[in-house]
Amino acid sequence: MASSTLSSPAKPCYSAAKTPAPIGNRLPTQNPATTTLPSRAAAPRFAHGLSAAAVRASPSARRLRALARPVRASQQQPQPPPPRRRPEYVPNRIDDPNYVRIFDTTLRDGEQSPGATMTSAEKLVVARQLARLGVDIIEAGFPASSPDDLDAVRSIAIEVGNAPLGEDGHVPVICGLSRCNRKDIDAAWEAVRHARRPRIHTFIATSEIHMQHKLRKTPEQVVAIASEMVAYARSLGCPDVEFSPEDAGRSNREFLYHILEEVIKAGATTLNIPDTVGYTLPYEFGNLIADIKANTPGIENAIISTHCQNDLGLATANTLAGARAGARQLEVTINGIGERAGNASLEEVVMAIKCRGELLDGLYTGINSQHITLTSKMVQEHSGLHVQPHKAIVGANAFAHESGIHQDGMLKYKGTYEIISPDDIGLTRANEFGIVLGKLSGRHAVRSKLVELGYEISDKEFEDFFKRYKEVAEKKKRVTDEDIEALLSDEIFQPKVIWSLADVQATCGTLGLSTATVKLIGPDGEEKIACSVGTGPVDAAYKAVDQIIQIPTVLREYGMTSVTEGIDAIATTRVVVTGDVTNNSKHALTGHSFNRSFSGSGASMDVVVSSVRAYLSALNKMCSFAGAVKASSEVSESTRVQSKE
């Protein structure tokens, strides 16, 4: 992996480093050394009777000729300043006024996306990657929502919140969300207290529409609850408490100043200002942050944060406007996932600050941007939410150039159409590698390719992957980078294996019913076989799987894409299922119980095999979640009985 560097406003943009310096209002030629002046024989006369020779002798002409001479590279490209160090973490202040904390809520707000449920093991893997990425705060979940979520946040606090995983030795803050009530706050504290730097994030709605129709409380009651619960969180021993006035974008300004003043008095260290429904425009949100900074008594004793939803497609713009107006914590998610239209995207916000820092008053972050691509892919696989091809920064087409005009410019100078280098986000293009993989490639070559693509996996994971690689390489003349990543995702980014696929055989066509025979290996290692018929080979295979596992499920989504071109392309399948899994999961904002959905993905050159792998991936998530809920319930019941005794 590349060494870690903090985001710097002078580093990433091609144009900032290599565009020639202007002459007045004009740009010099791209190759000043070849610039020539008219010859004496062709010297014209000008309107005032001066010859070209006389013009060449003038002081202004000498200055132009001096500018036309080749300039040393050191003069053309100003040296970037050395990377700035991340300031030491203090909950309610940042010693460097230009440093911006990145608060990642992928595992909490992002996981609330329909079909994005992650298992505890998957959350832990993503949390480790977020720590390597360099985020300052990881909001690991909503512990009061379910026993499984509490266990997941606790595991992250213990394993990620105590030892550095990134290159700069940084240990992230581990945060748990809670509503403004004692039960939620107790659960959050129980989950995060094991971290070196724990944080409780509590919230209550402050807009008139929310207070009247959802809370059915007066403004005075809301202020009293907020200040009491912030004080209660501090009384538990938590030194770092964040408070959010939900729907701040539509709240009365004077009331907002008042409630923020009261929670600061109660001990809040960070004040998060959410545009909960994505309603404000960038200039409005920037003014809101500036007004809070100017009119809230005691604001110098707390950090102002932003949390912008993307309902109008303005989350990133609003977040940057808030940062420029004085916010020094920005709440984001990987790939912008989240409720409804999602949240501000970490990669967009971070790279905008890195690329245009000079227009953002020199702001910078502690993110190691070279981990962005890998983190994005990991979240896609574990959440089941794949980004659209034209997604900024991490989309498949973000650094692709098909137009002839664009290709011509790229071949001459990449800065013509790329404002950031793909290397800055850890993306290396396939046509820049020297290694081409095939069926004769050995372990060393394949492992080297994984390193070039930015993946670090254990020896056991590599052996499992290499077995799958050989199966594909025997059938394909050339294995592309896209094939490698599809196989890696299918082999490594999978939930805990409870049921695994041994064999599948399907028949279909116009001459008879589609049939499928499936052999699965169960959690006890026993092989089980079932046969079924269906409307097609995939339907038949899924019915055979259902006969073996016997968990009532409903298939909500099914989709398949081709990873590469050609008849021998690898097919990637994604499914979303819901099932009869009893749980007490509660929505973070509404508090209502809901039935979780589970996503799964699979990859194979055979579409039926790919489909069955995806279905088993989703079912394994469901089984794992059901088992965790059952285990947590048994522990809770045992504790309750012991307390009675």
Do 409 and 368 have their domain in common?
no
Do 481 and 375 have their domain in common?
no
Do 468 and 573 have their domain in common?
no
Look at residues 359, 383, 407 and tell me which one is the last residue of a structural domain. 383
Cβ atoms within 10 Å, residue 206 = 26
More confident residue, 312 or 417: 312
Residue 55 maps to a domain? yes
Q: Tell whether the model's pLDDT for residue 537 goes beyond 50.
A: yes
Q: Tell whether the model's pLDDT for residue 401 goes beyond 70.
A: no
Do 340 and 406 have their domain in common?
no
- What residue spans of 41-163 are helical by DSSP H? 52-57, 59-68, 73-76, 120-133, 147-159
Q: What is the pLDDT of residues 543-572, one digit of tens each?
A: 999 999 998 889 988 988 887 777 778 888
Residue 287 maps to a domain? yes
Do 618 and 639 have their domain in common?
yes
Do 572 and 450 have their domain in common?
no
Q: How far apart are CA 327 and CA 47, in angstroms?
A: 60
Tokens of 223: 């202020």
Do 164 and 309 have their domain in common?
yes
Do 216 and 341 have their domain in common?
yes
Per-chain mean pLDDT for the chain: 82
CA atoms within 13 A on the CB side of 149: 28
DSSP class of residue 4 equals P
Do 186 and 327 have their domain in common?
yes
Residue 116 maps to a domain? yes
H-helix or E-strand spanning residue 574: strand 571-579
Q: What b/e readout covers 575-592, taking b as 16+ CB neighbours within 10 angstroms?
A: bbbbbebebebbebbeee
Q: What is the pLDDT of residues 201-243, one digit of tens each?
A: 999 999 999 999 999 999 999 999 999 999 999 999 999 999 9
Residue 390 maps to a domain? no
Which residues span the domain enclosing 472?
27-74+399-490
DSSP class of residue 45 equals B
Contact 591, 183 (CB under 8 A): no
Q: What is the pLDDT of residues 152-195, one digit of tens each?
A: 999 999 999 999 988 889 999 999 999 999 999 999 999 999 99
Residue 621 maps to a domain? yes
CB-based contacts of 63, cutoff 8 Å, min separation 6: none
Do 167 and 272 have their domain in common?
yes
Q: How far apart are CA 132 and CA 165, in angstroms?
A: 5
User: What's the confidence (pLDDT) of residue 64?
Assistant: 41
Q: What is the pLDDT of residues 490-533, one digit of tens each?
A: 666 666 788 999 999 999 988 888 999 999 999 888 999 999 99
Backbone dihedral angles phi then psi of residue 306, each to the nearest 5 degrees: -125, 150
Q: How far apart are CA 6 and CA 369, in angstroms?
A: 8
How far from 246 is each of 276, 298, 306, 444, CA to CA, in Å?
6, 20, 11, 53
* CATH number of the domain enclosing 587: 3.30.160.270
Residue 474 maps to a domain? yes
Count the domains in the chain: 3
CB-based contacts of 112, cutoff 8 Å, min separation 6: 338, 339, 587, 588
Do 574 and 476 have their domain in common?
no
Look at residues 467, 490, 513 and tell me which one is the last residue of a structural domain. 490
Residue 617 maps to a domain? yes
Residue 360 maps to a domain? yes
